[in-house]
A and B are shown apart, each in its own frame.
Chain A
Amino acid sequence: MSKMHVKLNVNGQEVEGLAEPRTLLIHFLRENLNITGPHIGCETSHCGACTVDLNGKSVKSCTVFVAQANGSDVTTVEGLTNDDGSLGVIQEMFREHHGLQCGFCTPGMITRAHRLLQENPNPTEEEVRFGMAGNLCRCTGYQNIVKAILASADMMNAQKEAAE
């Protein structure tokens, strides 16, 4: 099969490459672009470790062909740091509240939490749990992940208020 020309905007940068249409977005990100934040946990659409933000939606990048994503905006966990490279709010709150142990699920968790908080800046604990249901963690028992996301919401709202 012939390769196609792929153009994406990843974390604010225009990137291009050649890939077979059947290439999964996760493989294109990791292997062609060397963006290794999004992980491959199951490769069967279940674990959410590969979650990226695609045109403002959380998607499992192991279940999207690069051909489908062609022309899209993609944000990965790498794109959620502050401009100076320091940890962004959600990343910092995961660190502070021990929202990770081995860290394998973390990039997917943080990328998903980012979209959740964009859509719902004041979630209840129940809404966080429901909204994070597509991301599995084998280590933490979720408690601290939920804590970290609720703390992120508070922090982001406080920052917004301070800026106004």
Chain B
Amino acid sequence: MIPAGFEYHRPADIASALSLLQTHGDEARVIAGGHSLIPMMKLRMADLSHLIDLQDIDGLKGITIAEDIVSIGAMTTQNELITNDELSRRIPILREAALLIADPQVRYVGTVGGNVANGDPGNDMPGLMQCLGAVYTLEGPDGSRAVAARDFYEAAYFTAREDEEILTQITIPVPSMSGYAYEKQKRKIGDYATAAAAVMVGGGNASVAMTNLSDTPIYSAEASDALAKGDVDGCVAAALDAIDPQEDMRGPIAFKKHVAEVILRRAIAKAQERAA
């Protein structure tokens, strides 16, 4: 399983990376941890002739924790997220979800930026970021812009990011809701979700998003509103209405809907218990 050849670039700053992207157009791709991209390249499903490695760009690294907002550099690894105690104290659902991603080896190199930029419906971070109301910063040749996670995903592997843009940072408001849970059903360790749910609740507010049950992550305002009022059945009904699972090796549609409900109810119960 050897990918097709490419030219390798390792720029030292964002400006150089952006200029490489502009020069090579859609022949170029950035690589972060490579743990989604390299498997696709081995299968010859990702077609590129210039690979731009972001590992040396210090401006994409690091976690900044302020009073009510947290900024995570795109190149922060999942392991760095898990081992940052202050971050886990402020936004514990991040660690809970990250620990359910893949396995230790993958988490050492897989980045948060790569996970949210990838656009694979199986990725866990996008639904989580929608639940948290996170905002992504995109930098391109014309400067930077902010796109809400809830507006970012268009279809499988299609996002609001333009080819010549780099996702540089993820900004998350520290949640006021004290109840949280990320629940995931998977066939084995290291597998993507059959169904997963991110739930936050507390103080008359709630937020609900689901993973791998549609060709994008699904944040549901109706489900969130119902849960905010304490209406669990209404929340579950609205969420199940919003998803659109497809039959694949993880099971037929009816099974996926069933698992979605089980997982969502578990996440709600856990979040409510923690909020109490």
Do A and B share a complex? Answer: yes
A residues lining the B interface (CB < 8 Å): 1, 4, 20-22, 24, 27, 43-46, 48, 51, 57-60, 63-65, 67-68, 112, 116, 130-134
Q: Which residue of A lies closest to B83 (CB)?
A: A119
B residues lining the A interface (CB < 8 Å): 1-8, 10, 31, 34-35, 38-39, 41-42, 51, 53, 55, 79, 102-106, 108-109, 189-190
A44 touching B42 in the complex, CB below 8 Å, given contacts A21-B51, A57-B109, A133-B104: yes
Residue in A44, A51, A134 whose Cβ sees the most chain B Cβ within 10 Å: A134
Chain B contacts of A27 at CB under 8 A? 2
Report Cα–Cα, A131/B39, bound state, in Å. 23
Q: Which residue of B lies closest to A129 (CB)?
A: B189
Residue in A20, A64, A67 whose Cβ sees the most chain B Cβ within 10 Å: A67
Interface pair A59/B105, CB less than 8 Å apart? yes
Report Cα–Cα, A45/B55, bound state, in Å. 20
Q: Which residue of B lies closest to A43 (CB)?
A: B1
Report Cα–Cα, A67/B50, bound state, in Å. 12
Chain A contacts of B5 at CB under 8 A? 1, 20-22
Nearest CB of A to B13, in Å: 18
Report Cα–Cα, A35/B242, bound state, in Å. 52
Report Cα–Cα, A116/B108, bound state, in Å. 12
Given contacts A22-B6, A133-B189, A134-B104, 19 further A-B contacts (CB under 8 A): A4-B8, A21-B7, A45-B39, A48-B103, A58-B104, A58-B105, A63-B34, A63-B35, A63-B38, A63-B39, A63-B109, A64-B38, A64-B109, A65-B8, A65-B51, A112-B105, A132-B104, A133-B190, A134-B103
Chain B contacts of A63 at CB under 8 A? 34-35, 38-39, 109
Q: Which of B8, B79, B104 contacts A21 (CB 8 A)?
A: B8
Interface pair B106/A45, CB less than 8 Å apart? yes
Interface pair A64/B34, CB less than 8 Å apart? yes
A-B contacts, 24 of them at CB < 8 A, read A1-B5, A22-B3, A22-B5, A22-B41, A24-B2, A44-B39, A45-B106, A46-B190, A48-B103, A58-B104, A59-B105, A63-B34, A63-B38, A63-B39, A63-B109, A64-B38, A65-B38, A68-B31, A68-B53, A68-B55, A112-B104, A134-B103, A134-B189, A134-B190
